Amino acid sequence: MNFYKIEYSRNPADMWSNLKTATPTNKDNYTSLFEWSKSMSNYHFSDVEDSLDTNLPAVIPITNFDITDVPDPKITNPATFDRRKKNRGSENNKMEESDFRRWGYDIDGGYTILNRRSKPELPNSLQNIINKFGMEKPKVRYDVQMPGQCFYWHIDAFGGLLTQTKDPEFSRGNFEKHSAADLDQRKMMRFVIFLDDQKQGQHWQQGNLILQWKKGDCITWPWKDIPHGTANYGHMPRPTVNITGVVTDATYKFLNKCYTNK
């Protein structure tokens, strides 16, 4: 494992454009969502191999924003397992539940990954930042990981946004049934903006990199490949905003501008 203090010496547009997408595998051969997702990942899953200066970086730093207004954490609600499964594709949910029970997570006792507000009304200063990404049909979440909450080690599964499914955010299976062109993960991107400095007891890991962040830092990552997880065993809330949507030419223009203006 390595600690990585987020910095911006690399061009995020180049890092993103160099990504490759692994061939899908048959979902019917798996009962574990994590193992199925892992089978479609190009990541090395090693604690010692390089995870940044490669064609599959564990994290892609974007830029640091000047954050002046942060929404009140009280507008969020706990994202328990029961609440999450109502919004997930049914097969994915069954596979995730199988993982939780095998690993020993207390999902019957109300296991909570974080507090979330979907479609939040954000301060103008923050909304203006989000608009800079130039994404098509962006989905915005205000996430606050409260003390004692943990987002388990996982690989993202929101590719259905490309195929307009009924359960778009968690529909990896539907996504994989489409054409090779649709399978290009570079068409989708998720940005995360840290809205406060890292406090003691706050943990965010991307692959084998343990992040060290400051207020305003913004990252993305190869969502179809990189395992990641977060935890807050400190005493203060950890607020972030995440934006998931379809990449456009304006997005690439913004990524290049971030690098040239650093």
Look at residue 169 in the predicted model and tell me its pLDDT.
45
Report the C-alpha gap between 112 and 141 in whole angstroms.
16
- What's the pLDDT score for residue 53? 87
For position 49, what pLDDT does the model report?
87
pTM of the model: 0.92
Judge whether 149 lies within some domain: yes
Q: Which pLDDT does position 86 carry in this prediction?
A: 61
Question: Distance between CA atoms of 165 and 175, rounded to whole angstroms?
Answer: 9
Q: How many domains does the chain have?
A: 1
CATH number at residue 52: 2.60.120.10
Look up tokens 């999902």; give the residue. Answer: 107
Tell me if 199 sits within 8 A of 238, measured CB to CB: yes
Handedness of CA 54, 172, 209, 135 (dihedral sign): positive
205 DSSP β-pair partners: 210, 229
Spatial separation of the C-alpha atoms in residues 140 and 12, rounded to whole Å: 21
Among 86, 77, 37, 66, smallest CA distance to 195 is for 66
CA distances in angstroms from 51 to 23, 168, 203, listed in the order given: 21, 29, 18
131-164, pLDDT tens digit by residue?
999 998 888 999 999 999 999 999 987 655 555 5
Instruction: Report yes or no on 27 lying in a domain.
Output: no
Q: Residues 83-105: pLDDT tens digits? A: 766 655 566 788 889 999 999 99
Virtual torsion, Cα 211, 56, 250, 165, nearest 10 deg: -100
Q: Is residue 37 part of a domain?
A: yes
Nearest to 137 by CA among 155, 117, 158, 156: 158
**pLDDT tens for each residue of 211-247:** 999 999 999 999 999 999 999 999 999 999 999 988 9
The predicted-structure confidence for 24-72, as pLDDT tens digits, reads as follows: 888 888 999 999 999 989 999 999 888 888 889 999 999 999 999 999 9
Lookup: tokens for 100: 């939780």
Domain enclosing residue 6, as ranges:
2-22+32-260
Question: Would the pLDDT of 168 be above 50?
Answer: no
Taking the C-alpha atoms of residue 157 and residue 229, their distance in angstroms, rounded to an integer, is: 14
Would 125 be classed as within a structural domain? yes
For residue 138, being part of any structural domain is answered with yes
Tokens for 214, please give them: 């400051």
